[in-house]
Structure 1
Amino acid sequence: MKYIEQMEVTKFDRNKPYDELPVLPPINDIENNPDILKRLVSASRALATVNGNLNRLPNPLMLINTLALQEAKTSTEIENIFTTEDELYKAISDTYRESKINPATKEVLKYREALWAGFSELQTSNKIDTKLIIRIFNQIKETTSGYRPPQAQVVIKRGESEFRSGEIIYTPPRKEGVIENLMENLVEYLNNDELYTVDPLLKMCIAHYQFEAIHPFQDGNGRTGRILNLLYLFSKGLLSQPVLYMSKFIIANKEDYYFKLGAVTQRNDWKSWINFMLEATEKTSLLTNSRINEILSQMDSTLEYGKEKIKWYNKEINEAIFSQPYIKPNLIGEIIGKSSRTTLTKYMNELVGNNILRPKKDGVEVFYVNEDLIRILEG
């Protein structure tokens, strides 16, 4: 069980399963709170601009390989799984051998694959249900199991770097049938807009707490919950691609994140939690828009420069080298209709010679790095 950080629970016995976790909706009059409404307006406006910017991209799906990869990396770091950008970029290139991918990098890629699989399914079903949530978890953990069984002694403990490390701070529901009932209530709350007439962005905030409090799986709940946030926003038309880089804000404010999660459990303090999540949405949206603008500007600049320097350089080639940070020659070959190694080497050398790409050796393999894209992604 991964350790997480959270403040001490005071209003219930943290050593006993929280089988009395209230169902949704919360009894508080959240949607009419003036402070929450003010934050909701600014968060909604910022989120709306992301969709407008996504439509400016020649291929919005390219961000699944770029911004979504950064989201996957940071989301796994929240659960103390660390890899490097270099390992990730090599791993997603077309011909990188799976045997060379380290375990931490595989965990990040499984997150991205789970996000992509859920997104693809929602494009046809447009509905969050328990089967989809379990499928996301299965993809993340490479398992066929479902909810954790009643006998599983799952507890949440303080992190190793914390005062009183290893101390139990929360014990999620465990009684037979409780997890199933709470999860059915959760998806009903998300999908039934006639019965629960709450703004979808507020629903996302409320449902994220509930999912983490239910803690339905043996492991991987944090990553599953963060994917669920993005997919829900997509299902409600608030996000046209699941590329909101929210984990960056969460990890930068990790102590507040866990403190405010705990405050709902301990004191029914929904206001602080929802304001935190709305702030995360707003600031993440502004960051995402900034990244998209930078990518578009750099793409235009590189296209103009490339066409001036290389006679065969065109829009399609330009889009390809901005589809992911590390490029293999066969990706360029597919576009220009060339497969000869000698010919492709000549073309790649032209890109290198004009400082559009930089070669990077990894054993016998050579990757071609788009340093302009990496600068934007990691800035």
Structure 2
Amino acid sequence: MPRITGTDAITTTLGESVRAFVPYPLPPADPPLAATSFSDLNRQAELALARLAGVAGLVPSVDWLLYSAIRKEALLTSQIEGTQATLIDLFDEEAGLKIGNADDVEEVTNYLLAFRWVQSQLRDPLGLPISVRLLCEAHRRLLDGARGASKQPGELRRSQNWIGGTRPGNAAFVPPPPQHVPDLLADLERFIHEAAPELPPLVRVALIHAQFETIHPFLDGNGRIGRLLIAALLEHWGLLQEPLMYLSGYLKQHQSEYYRRLAQIRGDGDWEGWISFFLEGVTKAAVEAERSIIEVASLITADRKRLLESPKVGSVGYRLFESLPMMPRFTVAHVRRRLETTFPTASAAVRLLEELGILAELTGQKKNRVYSYQAYVDLLSR
């Protein structure tokens, strides 16, 4: 017998009567989770996260690791929802360069703002804990001024939504009616802060993400907030102290299976299949992040050595080089402001790094030239 994970509620929306799904509270029951089916996967995922944290501790600056990792997660989680922005668009926007798809980039930068705000709250002894209020405030920042600004930013939905299809009657999934949402989220919050949890933390993260997506508490942005919640829980439970893993890359690569596994929880009660998929994703994403850190660190170490061997290198040239991982595309004016130096000094430092093959000029113009730490950008964009 398949596990029953919720009940149907008849609701009327847009003039038609439909069945909306109301999930049971966590943890899964009748039967309880078959923990032996994913215990090895959980151990592998925990080890992969521990190795990732260890590798990060070997590099000179965790800041430039975080700069790229957080942006990749912001970009990939937004791309799952159809945003077309690229990593280069994001770098160009931060450098003050002209971009063609400003709305898409705004969605990604809003995610970055929401993510940083959540992280600051969790690290502040007086900040908000992981809670409905925290998620609502993150949602407000996510949709601020972006395309979803008319979708009640920061507020739980007051109307019926649906996923897939042109109307509720032909939707792939109809989440619970709005009057159920506050109680469902309260149950989820209680599960997060359970005093003596029996399940391993990563398994609980998997359960919480799926439950949040099933509740679908907002009119827009549920996927991005649900994936932001994953990163917040990883830090909250000490699984990964810094957000160096971009799990959304794995979820985007396996997007059809991601949605299918969530649907099988609701239809067949297959929590075990979803948890196994999630744990495999954590392992692969952590291994990928570890590989990326090693490659980026190797590139920067080799380029730094080349720079220091140059008889022309001065303090400004060295400071410019050390800024590149967090300023991969720029103009000379940008360098002048960043390093608080004169235009001729900034220009000379840029020219030296270009001569050494570390920087590439992109425009071919004599004025308003744009430079890129291209090998680094190519590594991150892969």
TM-score bracket for the superposition, by shorter chain length: 0.7 to 0.9
Residues 212 and 221 in structure 1, CA contact (< 8 A), matched pair in contact too: yes
User: Residue by residue, what CA displacement relative to the aligned partner does 1:183-222 show, whole Å, maximum 9, x if unpaired?
Assistant: 111122112242x332111110000100000000000000
Matched ranges for 1:184-223 at <5 A: 184-194=186-196, 196-223=197-224
Are positions 1:167 and 2:176 aligned together? no
Following superposition, the deviation at residue 70 of structure 1 comes to 1.5
Unaligned runs of 5+ in 2: 1-6, 11-17
d(CA) in 1 for partners of 2:72, 2:123 = 23
Structure scoring higher RCO (CA < 8 A, sep ≥ 6) equals 1
Q: Does the C-alpha gap of structure 1 residues 52 and 327 become closer, same or farther in structure 2, counting only changes over 3 Å?
A: farther
The amino acid of 2:68's aligned partner reads T
Hey, what does 1:154 align to over in structure 2?
A: 161
Counterpart residue number, 2:14 = none
Kept in 1: contact 2:119–2:232 (CA 8 A): yes
Is contact 2:69-2:243 (8 Å) kept? no
Q: 2: CA distance between counterparts of 1:81 and 1:335?
A: 30
Shift of 1:45: 0.4
Q: Does 1:29 align with 2:32?
A: yes
User: Which position in structure 1 is the counterpart of 2:15?
Assistant: none
Q: What's the counterpart of residue 17 of structure 1?
A: 20
The alpha-carbon distance between structure 1 residues 315 and 47, as it changes in their structure 2 partners (threshold 3 A), is farther
| TM-score, length-scaled by structure 2 | 0.86
Task: Name the counterpart of 1:8.
Answer: none
Match for residue 46 of structure 1 among 22, 29, 48:
48
Residue of structure 2 equivalent to 1:5: none
Count residues with an aligned counterpart: 358
Letter in 1 for 2:162: V
Once the two structures are superposed, the pairs formed by residues 1-379 of structure 1 within 5 Å of their partners are 15-18=18-21, 20-27=22-29, 28-30=31-33, 33-93=35-95, 95-96=96-97, 102-124=102-124, 125=127, 127-142=129-144, 144-149=153-158, 152-158=159-165, 167-176=170-179, 178-194=180-196, 196-309=197-310, 310-312=312-314, 316-329=319-332, 332-333=335-336, 338=341, 340-361=342-363, 365-379=368-382
2:110 touches 2:141 (CA, 8 Å); kept in 1? Answer: yes
Q: Is the 8 A contact 1:68 1:242 kept in 2?
A: yes
Contact 2:107/2:142, CA 8 A, preserved across alignment: yes
Q: Which amino acid aligns with 2:141?
A: Q
C-alpha change, 1:336 and 1:256, in structure 2 (3 Å) is: closer
Q: Which structure 1 segments of 5+ residues have no match?
A: 1-10
Match of 2:369, SS state, is strand
TM-score by length of 1: 0.86
Return the letter of the residue paired with 2:181. I
Q: Is the 8 A contact 1:321 1:327 kept in 2?
A: no
User: Matches of 1:185 and 1:249 in 2, distance apart?
Assistant: 29
CA displacement at 1:311 relative to structure 2: 2.1
* 1:325, distance to aligned residue in structure 2 (A): 2.2
What is the SS of the residue equivalent to 1:16? strand
Match of 2:357, as an amino acid?
A: N
3-state SS, counterpart of residue 362 of structure 2: strand
Percent identity at matched positions?
Answer: 23
Tell me the alpha carbon deviations over residues 142-185 of structure 1, each in whole angstroms, 9 at most, x when there is no partner: 15441001xx23111159xxxx9x93111111142x21111111
Residues 225, 183 of structure 1: alpha-carbon distance in 2 compared, 3 angstrom cutoff: same
CA-based RMSD: 2.8
Deviations 1:266-303 (Å, cap 9, x if unpaired)?
A: 11110100000001100000000000111111111111
Hey, what's the Cα distance between the residues in 2 that align with 1:336 and 1:263? Answer: 54
The residue type paired with residue 42 of structure 2 is L
Q: Secondary structure at the match of 1:82?
A: coil
Give the direction of change, closer, same or farther, for the CA distance of 1:193–1:366 in structure 2 (3 Å limit): farther
State the one-letter code of the partner of 2:102: N
Q: Which amino acid aligns with 1:113?
A: L
Mapped partners of 2:57, 2:128: distance in 1: 20
1:156 to 1:337, Cα distance in 2 relative to 1, 3 A: closer
Alignment CA distance shift 1:43-1:50 (3 Å): same
Q: Quote the Cα distance in structure 1 between the aligned partners of 2:160 and 2:376.
A: 45
Segment of structure 1 superposing worse, 363-372 or 226-235? 363-372
- Deviations along 1:212-244, whole A, 9 cap, x unmatched? 000000000000111110111011111121231
C-alpha displacement of 1:46: 0.3
Partner amino acid, structure 2, of 1:189: F
Aligned-partner residue type, residue 299 of structure 2: Q
How far is the alpha carbon of 1:329 from its aligned partner? 3.6
Q: Give the aligned partner of residue 4 of structure 2.
A: none
Q: Is the contact made by 1:65 and 1:324 (CA closer than 8 Å) also made in structure 2? A: no
Please state how far the C-alpha of 1:361 moved relative to its aligned partner.
3.7
Amino acid at match of 2:322: E
Q: In 1, distance between residues paired with 2:271 and 2:87?
A: 36
Question: In structure 1, what is the Cα distance between the partners aligned to 2:350 and 2:50?
Answer: 39
